[in-house]
A and B are shown apart, each in its own frame.
Chain A
Amino acid sequence: MAIGTLAPPLNVPAGAAHADDRSRSWRKFARNPAAIVGALILAVVVGAAIFAPWIAPHEPARQSLIRRFTPPVWAAAGKSAHVLGTDQVGRDILSRIIHGARISLIVGIAAVVVSLTVGVTLGLLSGFLHGRVDTVIMTVVDVWLSFPQLLLALAFVAALGPSLITIIVVLGLTGWERYTRVVRAEVLALREKDFVEAARAMGASTVRIVLRHLLPNTFSSIIVMSTLQVAQAILQEAALSFLGVGTGSAYPTWGQMIALGRDFVSVAWWLPTFPGLAILLTVLAINLVGDRLRDALDPRIG
C-alpha cells in the first residue's frame, strides 16, 4: 500500500499550485487596496492601448499651427477640445499619450517574452546539467552583469538601426540574466528532492523531469520577475526614445514626447509633464501588482 499512497502525487505536476492554493493566493492578492488600484490603472492603460484609434479625441499626428501651445483645459487659455493641451506643432497631447500606450505595452511585454525564453532555457540547462555547461552559462551571466544595461541596449539599437523589432530584441537580450540566475538556483535546490528521484525511478526522461517537474516549481518566481520586468522594459524603452534611438517611426511614444517637450519646458510645462505622468502611473501600477503578486505567491509570507 505504501506505493499506492506514493503514486498519485506523481501524476499531477509535482509542486504545481492546487486549486486551493490558487484561490488562497488570489484572496491574499485581492485583500490589498494598493494592488487593486494598480490593477485598475493597468486596465485603463491596456484599454487605451487596444482602443486607441476609437477613443483618442484627435488624430495623434494632426498638426495645427494656430493651436500650438494650447495649455491644459483648466488653465486660463485652455480649450475643452484639448484636455491636456497641445504641443509645439499643435498636436493633441492626450491623443498622443493614448496612442503612445501601444508602443510602451508592446515593447514591455514582447521584450519580457524574449528575456523569459532565453533566460529560463539557459537557467534550466545550467541548473540541471551543471558541470561545464553551468560554468559557461554563468560566465556569460557575469559578463552581462558587467555592462550598464541601458548603455549596451543604446549601443546595439543604434548599431542595428532603430526599429520596433530591434528595440524589443535588444531589450529582451539585455534583461534575460535574472531569470537564468533564479531558475538555476531553484533547479539546483529542487533536483536533489525526493520527487525528482521518484520520477526518475519511474523512468521519466530528463526532458520530462525538467519540463513537467522542475519548471512548474519555478513558475511563481518567474511570474513575479516578469511582471516587474515589464515595468523596467517600459522605462528602458522610454529612455531609449528619449536619447534619440527610438522606434525610428513617427508614431508617438512617451519617451519621445518627453524628449521633444524638454526644449519647451520653460514656455509649456505640460509638454514633458503629462507623458511622464503616463509612464509613472503605468510603471507604478505594474510594480504595485507585481509586488503584491510576490507576497501572494510566496507561501513563506503568511
Chain B
Amino acid sequence: MLTLLVRRVVRLLVVLVGVSLVTFSILQVSGDPVALMMPEAPEADRAVLRQNMGFNDPLAVQFVRFVGSIARGNFGKSFFHREEALPLVLARMPTTLLLTVLAMGISLALAIPIGILSAVRRNSLFDHGATLVVFLGTSMPVFWTGIMLILLFAVQLRVLPVSGWESWAALVLPGFTLATFSTPLLLRIIRSSMLEVINLDYVRTARAKGVSEWFVICRHALINAALPLVTVAGLQFGLLLGGAIITETVFAVPGAGRLIVGAIRQLDFPIVQAGVFVLALIVVMVNFAVDMLYVYLNPQIRVR
C-alpha cells in the first residue's frame, strides 16, 4: 500500500513536469512574444527586452527558469491587464469550479436513477428512450445547446435570465447546459455496469432472502456498479472543465474559462499559460484522488 502510494506520487511529479513543458511550449510556438508585448516599439527596443527577458537563452535554460518561476506562482504580468496573471486566474477559479461541480451534481442526479431504471427495465420503452437521449446528448455541440436553452427559456418563455451570474436563477441554464455534456456518458456507464452485476449470483441470493427489489438494487447492485462510475466521473472532470470554458463564454459567466478564452483571442500569453496550468493541475489532482479512492474502494487492489 505504501509503495503504491510512493509510486503514484513519483508519477504525479513526473506528470507535473510534463504539464509544465506543454504549458511552456504554448509561448514558444507563438513566434515572437516580445512583438506581442510591445507592438509599436522599434526593433532595437524589442531586442533589449528580448535579451532582458532571457528569450535569447537556450530553450532548456528557459524551461528550467519557467519551472522555477511557476513553482513560485509567477506566470508574469498579463499583457493587457498589467497585473500578475496567476491571481487574475485564481480569483475567477471558484466560479468555474462551482459551475463544474454544479453540472457534475446535475449529471449524477439524472444519470444514476435513469441508468438504474434503464438497466432494470432493459429493452423497455423507457430504456430505448434513454438510449436515444444519450445519442442526442453526445451529438450536440455544448455551445449550441446553451443557445437553444437561451432561446427557449430566456427569449420565448422569459423565465430565466439570458446571462450573468448574479442570482441562483442565472446558474440554472449554464448548469444544465454543461450537464448535457457529461450526463450521456455517465448514464451509459451506470446502465452497463448495472447490467453486469444485476444477474450475478450474489444479487440473486440477496433477492432470495426476501428483501425488497429496490433494497437489492441500491444496497447490493449499485455499490458494485459504482466502481467504474468513480473512474469515469474522475475522467469526466477534465472534460467538464473544458466544457465549462465554452459554457462560460455562451452565458457570459465571469469565470476563469471566459478570462482564458478572452486572453487566447488577445494572445495574452501569461494568462493563457497560468489558466492552462491551473486547470491541468486541478485535473491531475482530481485524477490522483480518484486513483486513491479507487484503491480504497476496490479490495482487490488494496490487498496486493
Give A residues with C-beta under 8 Å from B: 139-140, 142-143, 145-152, 154-156, 158-160, 231, 235, 238-239, 242-245, 255, 258, 261-262, 265-266, 269, 272-273, 276, 279-280, 283-284, 287-288, 291
Pairwise interchain contact B276-A155, C-beta atoms closer than 8 A: yes
Pairwise interchain contact B265-A158, C-beta atoms closer than 8 A: yes
Residues of A within 8 A of B246 (CB): 150, 239, 242-243
Residues of B in contact (CB 8 Å), total 49
Report how far A287 CA is from B138 CA in the complex, Å.
8
- Whether A147 touches B148, Cβ cut-off 8 Å, given contacts A238-B141, A276-B141, A284-B139, is no
Pairwise interchain contact A143-B260, C-beta atoms closer than 8 A: no
Report how far A262 CA is from B155 CA in the complex, Å.
12
Pairwise interchain contact B141-A239, C-beta atoms closer than 8 A: yes
Give the A-B contact count at a CB cut-off of 8 A: 152
Pairwise interchain contact A255-B261, C-beta atoms closer than 8 A: no
Pairwise interchain contact B139-A245, C-beta atoms closer than 8 A: no
Pairwise interchain contact B147-A272, C-beta atoms closer than 8 A: yes
Pairwise interchain contact B27-A150, C-beta atoms closer than 8 A: no
Report how far A287 CA is from B137 CA in the complex, Å.
11
Report how far A154 CA is from B257 CA in the complex, Å.
12
Report how far A266 CA is from B151 CA in the complex, Å.
7
Residues of A within 8 A of B142 (CB): 239
Pairwise interchain contact A288-B242, C-beta atoms closer than 8 A: no
Pairwise interchain contact B245-A150, C-beta atoms closer than 8 A: yes
Pairwise interchain contact A143-B18, C-beta atoms closer than 8 A: yes
A147 is contacted by which of B19, B30, B260, B269 (Cβ under 8 Å)?
B19
**5 interchain pairs, CB-CB under 8 A:** A147-B280, A151-B242, A151-B245, A156-B26, A269-B151
Report how far A35 CA is from B155 CA in the complex, Å.
36
Q: Does B239 contact A (CB under 8 A)?
A: yes
Pairwise interchain contact A283-B147, C-beta atoms closer than 8 A: no
Report how far A37 CA is from B223 CA in the complex, Å.
38
Pairwise interchain contact B141-A273, C-beta atoms closer than 8 A: no
Q: Does B14 contact A (CB under 8 A)?
A: yes
Residues of A within 8 A of B150 (CB): 265
Report how far A158 CA is from B235 CA in the complex, Å.
26
Residues of A within 8 A of B179 (CB): none
Pairwise interchain contact B29-A160, C-beta atoms closer than 8 A: yes
- Which chain A residue lies CB-closest to B245? A151
